[in-house]
Amino acid sequence: MKAKAVLISVFHKNGLEPIVKKIDQLNIIIYATGGTKKFITDLGIPVVSVENLTSYPSILGGRVKTLHPKVFGGILSRRDNDNDKKQLTEFKIPEIGIVIVDLYPFEKTVESGVPEQEIIEKIDIGGISLIRAAAKNFKDVCCISSMNQYKDFLEIISENNGETTLEQRKKFATKAFNISSHYDTQIFNYFNKNHDEAVLKMSKINGKALRYGENPHQKGFFFGDFNKIFDKLHGKELSYNNLLDVDAAVNLMNEFKKEQPTFAILKHNNACGVAQRPTILQAYLDALAGDSISAFGGVLITNTKIDMATANEIHKLFCEVIIAPSYEKEALKKLKGKKNRIILIQKEIIVPKTTVRTCLNGVLVQDVDYKTDTKEILENVTTIQPSSKEIEDLLFASKICKNTKSNTIVLVKDKQLCASGTGQTSRIDALNQAITKAKHFKFDLNNAVMASDAFFPFPDCVEIANNAGINAVIQPGGSIKDQLSIAYCNKNKMSMVFTKTRHFKH
- Catalytic center residues: 136, 268
- The rounded distance, in Å, linking the Cα atoms of 90 and 103 is 32
Residue type, 23: I
Q: Which of 174, 171, 231, 226 has its CA nearest to residue 204? A: 226
Q: Based on DSSP, count helices (H) and strands (E) in the chain, helices before strands.
A: 19, 21
Residue type, 54: T
Helix or strand holding residue 160 (H, E): none
Alpha helices, DSSP H only, in 262-402? 280-289, 308-314, 329-335, 388-402
Residue type, 153: F
Return the C-alpha torsion angle 358, 368, 183, 111, nearest 10.
-160
Contacts of 417 (CB under 8 A, 6+ apart): 271, 272, 273, 274, 275, 287, 290, 397, 400, 410, 411
Q: Which of 73, 423, 491 has its CA nearest to residue 270? A: 423
- The rounded distance, in Å, linking the Cα atoms of 363 and 351 is 20
CA–CA distances in Å: residue 307 to residues 16, 326, 466: 45, 9, 40
